[in-house]
Each structure stands twice: as structure tokens, then as C-alpha cells.
Structure 1
């Protein structure tokens, strides 16, 4: 592999690993704050136990997310310094906002929440929970604003070959981020909901299957189970609606990405939606591919009607060549790509199947949520031994859907790291090829060493996180609730106080 391939593998591995923590932290933070709100309003012990237990797991995941997220910042300077110089004037503002506003508020109030039990009033402590949980959402917004600028550059002027920020409000109000943000947040809730369902089902099956429905600990797990299922179901509905909006925007802003997502090699009017394909979808001419389709649906997904034309790969390639050239610049800094033909079609198998994995695993998680709500109604719990292991496996479905969505989004943009605007809604003439973005002063062996080191380190961190998660899950609510003092100590404490 050449330097570019190794650098992309490094960024892909570390980013995907980090993104395993991000949606769970965001979703759990909001749900923990909701659990504490329920305890504050009702005073029921089960909500306090839920807050303590799920809050502990959220903290473990949050810590790992911080550790793995730091590497993302360093990679821009290590392996992608040409990219950093190109986007630095734009990315400085949203990333500074993420650090100074969102992360500062998040870490400050999270610390107050951790150490404020029995030291702050219930109302103030609850306010801290909502402050740090909403700050995690704000942090995601600023990161998505930066990423959305790469998908659709706005709010800049082009000066001396580099974009210069002219309006931070245009960047923060970019229609791409306004579509991507709710879709991402709903994805976070889908992950958190499945997490609650899987662990609560396992706890009931392993310890409380035959206990009295009025048992307080069983109520903790049954309430968590139902809450997770409802959250997952609502999240899927939100994903479907926001995904439709985002998809229509992508057809407008990045038509090649969406044509590749459908392996749509030839333009169609009306266009059919491909459910799955048999054959080699890696060939742009689609010869030998048999696709099972639903008529008219792709036209609706692209343009909101059932008869419009959707352009295919073979029609789009000449358009891209006319606008952005047929060959890479003959510049020594381009390395092996200097003067070579530009391949405007992204990796078709990755984009095609990534798009279907995103939708398929999201739908699978939603079906699981419906099944949970039906099977656990009126304090019931299924008697089959298969049910709890299946629920635990179901935790992975929205994780896979989230990761597949991000891989599709980033891989479908190739060969651009900053995608051009094919329409007047953005700033024309601003784009950057991925081959131009990699650091030119590195040897392949150097970046390969960092890939091996980071992958090994992340593997160790994965073992640590799984160990801690399993330990506290097995401990249950008893491991997070303070022990009740003996009766004699209670009386001594009261006599001393008075």
C-alpha cells in the first residue's frame, strides 16, 4: 500500500473505534438525566437506582471516548497536514467552540454531578445532569458542523488558493449540518435504547426471572427494558424522517455518492430502489449484476415524486470530468497520483452495501424494540431461554447501522476530502482531492508504525472497557448504591446529630 492508503486506514480505524463510544455516551447521558428527573419528581427508589447504575456505565464509556477522541485531533497534524492547512481557517471556529463551550461545560458539570451526590441540593444536582448531557449534544453539533462543511462548503471566500472564513453563522447554519445533526442524534438514541434493552433483559433472565413483579430490583430492570424499547422505536421513526431529508439533500449536493449507493450505473426515469444485488457491483458498467428493486421509490427518495429522472454513474462521470478535470495536477506533492487519471466513482461495494447495512440494521433494531414492548407488557417477561441472549446480541444492531452510515458518508465522498458544490447553494470552486490532503513528508513505514501502535493500543482499551462494563453489569444496582448502615450506627449517628 502507498502512503495515502495507509493514512486512510489509520484514520478509518481510529475514527470508527472512537465513534463506537460517541453515540452511546450522547444517548445514555440524556437518558440518565431523564431517569434522575423521574426520581426527582416521583421520589421512587427504582429511578434513583436506574440513574446510579446507567450513569456508572455512561461514565466508563465517556472516559474511553475522551481518550480515543484525542487521537483524532493529532492525526490532522501527523498524517494530514496539507488538509489541515487547507481547512484550518474554517475549522478553527467550530472546533474551538466544541472545546471551549461544549466540552468545557460538559466536563465541568459532569464533575459536579459525579461528586455532588449528597453535597448539592437535588434540584441543583439535577440541573448539573441536564447541563452535561445537553453539552454532549452541543459538542456533536459543532463537530458535525465541521464535517458538513467538508460535504458542502459555505461561508467562505477563496483567497490565495485557500478558503477563508467569512461567516461562522453560515457554517453553523449549513443545510447539510441541519439535516445531519438530528439524524445523528436519533442514531445515538437508537444505540442507547438497545443498550438498555440488552443489559436489562440479561439481568432479569439471570437473576429476576422468577422474582415477584413487585420486587424493587426487578422493577429497575423492567422499567429500563421498556424505556429502552420505547426510545429505540421513537429513534427509528426519527431516523427514517431525518434520513429522508438528508438523502434528498445528498442527491442534490453529492449526486455521485447517491448513485453509487444504489449502484445506479445508468440514468433512470422513473428510478427504482435496489433492495439488494447479486453480482459484482464494483464494475461501474454494472454488467452481470442482478438487482432486486422496488419501482419508483428511488425517484421519490431523490426528488419527492415518483416519476423524475435520477442520474446514473455513467452520466455523472463526464460531468465531473468537465468540471474538475480528468487528471490529477502534475505536482510532485501529489506523489504517485501526480498526472494520473481521476477516478470519480467511489468504491461501489462499500457505498452500496454500507447504505443497506445502515438501513437494514436500523430496521432490525426497530423490530426488536416492537417485540420487546409486546412481550414485556403488564410486567411480563418471556420464559424462553433464547430471549435474553438475543436481546444482548441486539445491542450490536444500531452500532453496526451507525458505523455503516458513517463509512458510507465518508467513502462515498471520494475522491474528494472536501467535496465541491454542484449547485449555487454553496461556494463554487472550493474542493480538495484526498490525494492532495495527506502529509507529503512522511514515509509509508512511519505511518504504518503509527497504525500498528494505535491499533494495538485501542485493542487494549477495548479489553479494559469491556472488563469494566461486564464487572459493573454483573454487580447490578448493589454495586453502585451505597450500603445501608447498620441499625446501631444509625441510632448513634442520630443521637450524635441531636
Structure 2
């Protein structure tokens, strides 16, 4: 494999792994803050126990997320230095804001929350929980603003062949960011909700102590998950309409829509080889005119297919890569403007499918445990725990579709923006030897694999330990010791 392919594999592996921690941290931090709020307001010990148990799992996940997240920013210099030089004047601003504002606040108040249980007044300690949880959302916003700029460059001028930032406000209020943020946060709540439902249902089946804790956790997770899925559907529709305007090739690739249709049908399931952009021998089960509605809010709109979009892209951005030795074997070769169709087509459907399954499982678990009932069959805990994976998979497939659907661009041209502000992925990679990237790829993959084993071990240990595993012993006077 050449440097470009190795660098893409490295970034893909580390990013997907890191993003397994991110949504759980965001969603669970806000739910833990809500649990603590309920305890402070009511004095009900059940909410205190919920806060302590789920807070312990949150801390484990947060620690792993920090360790794996640091590598992400290092990679911009390690493997993607040409990209960093091109976008640094713009991309650095939201990332700096994330580090200096959001992550600083997040880390500071998390520390106060961890060590302040028996030292801070209840309401001050609760404020620390909310400051930490809201800072995780702010952190997500700044990172999404940076990513959305890559999908839809705004707030810049082109000087000396590089974009220069003219309006940070335009970057932070990019319509792509405003659509991506609620979608991402809803996905985070879906992950945290299913986490609560799965573990709560398992403890109910085991007849663990503190049944009230597990029933309350399951109910909270179920309703949060249902609301999250509704927000995902609405925000996803908004994103689809923006994608139709900003990245028509990604829209076509999501549907493996090879030929322009008016109106365009939505493909539910395809039978055949979707790898070919001519769609020969591919049969689809479709809903008539639905894609037109998803693209432009009516049932009659034309949606351009891959075969018609390729010439448009070639006219605007060229038919061949520049002749440049840094491009390796792609130097002077024809540009393939069609993303990997099996990845975009099936990734889009797996994202939707696993999201719907996670919401459905939550409702099923709520129904099965109604009125104090708990099914005794072994299928019940297996289903509950397996269901935890579904929103994680939905989030992962969603991001894989988002990033791979924009290929061959790493910075996608804005159809109504500044001419020349775009970059091919092949031009973004560092001038490194394949062996160097391969070495870091192997090292990071093995390290992340080891970290995964550590996290699974710790999560499993504290889940099995239940409430008793995170609540310290009572003092001589019978009071609970408020400390980790």
C-alpha cells in the first residue's frame, strides 16, 4: 500500500475507535448531571446511587476518550501535513477554542466533581457536574464546526493559494454545523440511553440489589432513547437537504443513484453489485418519489445521478490529478469522483437501521419490565446487552458515510463559496515513507487494541459490581461517605 492508503487506514481506525468513547461521554455526562440534580432536589437516595454508579462508568470512558483523542490532532502533522498547511489558518481556530475553552473547563470541573463530594456544598458540587457536562457539548460543537468547514468552506478568502479566515462567526454558524450538532448530540443521547437500558435490564434479570436503581435507569434510558431517535430523524432530514445542495455526489452515492431521476425513488434495499457506477444488474426495492422529498422537500424534484454528476465535477475541478511526484502513482492520473459505493450505500442504511433497532429495543424492554415484570429466559439479558452495541454501530456507520462520501476531496468545494477553496485527499498526505506510516499504523492499532481490553475489563468489573462496587462503606455513625 502507498502512503495515502496507509494514512487513510490509520486515520480511519483511530477515529472510529475514538468516537466509540465520545458519544457515551457526552450523553452520559448530561444524564448523570440530571440524576444528581434529582438527588439534590429530592434527597432520594436512589438518585444518589444512580449518580455514583453511572458516574463511575462515565469516568472510565472519559479517561479512555482523552487518551485516544490526543492522537487525532497529532495525526494532522504526522500523516497529513500538506492538509495542515493548506487549512491551518482556518482549521486551527475552532480546534484552539475547543482546547482552550471547552476542554479546559471540562477537565477543571470534572476534577472538582470527582474530588469534591465531601468537600463542596451540594449545590456547588452539582454546578460542577453541569459545567463539565455542558463543556463536553461545547467541545463537540467546536470540533463539529471544524469538520463542517471541511464539508462546506465558509468565512474565508483565498490568498496565495490558501484559504485565510475572515470570519470565525461564519465558521461557527455554518449551516452544516448547525445541522450536524443536534444530529450528533442526539446520537450521543441514543448511545447513553441504550447503555442505561441494557445494563439496567441485565441487573433486573439477575435480581441484583437496588432494584429501584435499575428500574429507574431503564425507564430513563428508554424515554431518552425514543426522544433521541425522533431528533435524529428530524435533524437527519435537514442534513439530507443540505447534502443535496452542497454535495450532490454524496447524495447520489448514498442511494447508488446512477442515473438522474425526476422524481427520484428512495432505495430501501439493493440486490446486485452496487460497486459499478452504471448500476448494471442492480435491482432495488424502492419507495417512489421519497428521495425527491428528502432532497428538496417535495415529491417532484429532480435528483442527479452519478453518470450526470461526473462530467459536471470534471468540468469544474479537472479530469486528471496534477503532475506532481508527491501524488505518487496518482500523479497525472484520471480523478475518480465517485465514492466507494458499497460503503456509502450500505453505510447509510446501516446507520438508519441500527438507530431504529436501538430505539425499538428500548421500547420493548420497557414493555417487558412493566408493572414489576422481568422475563426469566436467558434471551432477555443477552438481547439487552447486545442492544448496547446498536447505537454505537449507527454512529460509526454514520461517520464513515459522512467522511468517505466526500471523496476524493478532503476539503469539499462550496458550490456557492470562494473558487479554489478545495483540496483532494491525495494532495493532503505528508511526504513520508510508506514504512513510517505503516509502523505508526501498526503501533497505534495495537495500542488501541490494548486500551480496548482495559476499558472492557474496567466497565465489566464495575457493571458486575453494581451499586455496591461504587458506594463506599458507611461510617461509624451510619452516614454514607461521599467519596470515590
Task: State the alpha-carbon separation in 2 of the partners of residues 459 and 228 from structure 1.
Answer: 29
Aligned match of 1:132? 132
Task: State the alpha-carbon separation in 2 of the partners of residues 459 and 332 from structure 1.
Answer: 35
Aligned match of 1:203? 203
SS across alignment from 1:471: helix
Report how far residue 386 of structure 1 moved.
Answer: 1.1
SS across alignment from 2:207: helix
Out of 426, 432, 439, the residue aligned to residue 430 of structure 2 is 439
Report how far residue 383 of structure 1 moved.
Answer: 3.1
Pairs within 5 Å for 1:133-212: 133-208=133-208
Aligned match of 2:21? 21
Pairs within 5 Å for 1:11-410: 11-208=11-208, 217-410=210-403
Report how far residue 377 of structure 1 moved.
Answer: 2.5
> Does the CA-based 8 Å contact 2:201-2:365 persist in structure 1?
no
SS across alignment from 2:304: coil
Which 4+ residue blocks in structure 1 deviate beyond 3 angstroms?
none
> Does the CA-based 8 Å contact 1:226-1:372 persist in structure 2?
no
For residues 283-309 of structure 1, give each alpha carbon's deviation from its aligned partner in whole angstroms, at most 9, with x where no partner exists: 000001111111111000000001111
Task: State the alpha-carbon separation in 1 of the partners of residues 71 and 381 from structure 2.
Answer: 36
Report how far residue 486 of structure 1 moved.
Answer: 4.2
Report how far residue 134 of structure 1 moved.
Answer: 0.3
Pairs within 5 Å for 1:437-476: 437-440=428-431, 442-476=432-466
Task: State the alpha-carbon separation in 2 of the partners of residues 485 and 90 from structure 1.
Answer: 55
Out of 485, 491, 494, the residue aligned to residue 475 of structure 2 is 485
Task: State the alpha-carbon separation in 1 of the partners of residues 376 and 287 from structure 2.
Answer: 39
Task: State the alpha-carbon separation in 1 of the partners of residues 450 and 203 from structure 2.
Answer: 27
1:428 aligns with 2:419: yes
Task: State the alpha-carbon separation in 2 of the partners of residues 196 and 427 from structure 1.
Answer: 46
Aligned match of 1:211? none
Task: State the alpha-carbon separation in 2 of the partners of residues 288 and 364 from structure 1.
Answer: 30
Tell me how many residue pairs correspond in the alignment: 479
Provide TM-score, normalisation by structure 1: 0.95
> Does the CA-based 8 Å contact 1:82-1:438 persist in structure 2?
yes
Task: State the alpha-carbon separation in 2 of the partners of residues 458 and 333 from structure 1.
Answer: 30
SS across alignment from 1:292: strand
SS across alignment from 1:317: helix
User: Which structure has the greater CA radius of gyration?
Assistant: 1
Which runs of 5 or more residues in structure 2 are unaligned? 480-484
Task: State the alpha-carbon separation in 2 of the partners of residues 468 and 96 from structure 1.
Answer: 32
Task: State the alpha-carbon separation in 2 of the partners of residues 471 and 43 from structure 1.
Answer: 28
Report how far residue 76 of structure 1 moved.
Answer: 0.5
> Does the CA-based 8 Å contact 2:354-2:394 persist in structure 1?
yes
> Does the CA-based 8 Å contact 1:421-1:429 persist in structure 2?
no
Task: State the alpha-carbon separation in 1 of the partners of residues 429 and 200 from structure 2.
Answer: 45
Report how far residue 207 of structure 1 moved.
Answer: 3.0
Task: State the alpha-carbon separation in 2 of the partners of residues 117 and 485 from structure 1.
Answer: 15
> Does the CA-based 8 Å contact 2:194-2:222 persist in structure 1?
yes
SS across alignment from 1:17: helix
Task: State the alpha-carbon separation in 2 of the partners of residues 68 and 229 from structure 1.
Answer: 29
> Does the CA-based 8 Å contact 1:267-1:312 persist in structure 2?
yes
For residues 117-172 of structure 1, give each alpha carbon's deviation from its aligned partner in whole angstroms, at most 9, with x where no partner exists: 01100100000000000000000000000000000000000000000000000000
SS across alignment from 1:427: coil
> Does the CA-based 8 Å contact 1:226-1:376 persist in structure 2?
no
Q: Could you say what the CA RMSD is over the residues aligned between the two structures, in angstroms?
A: 1.1
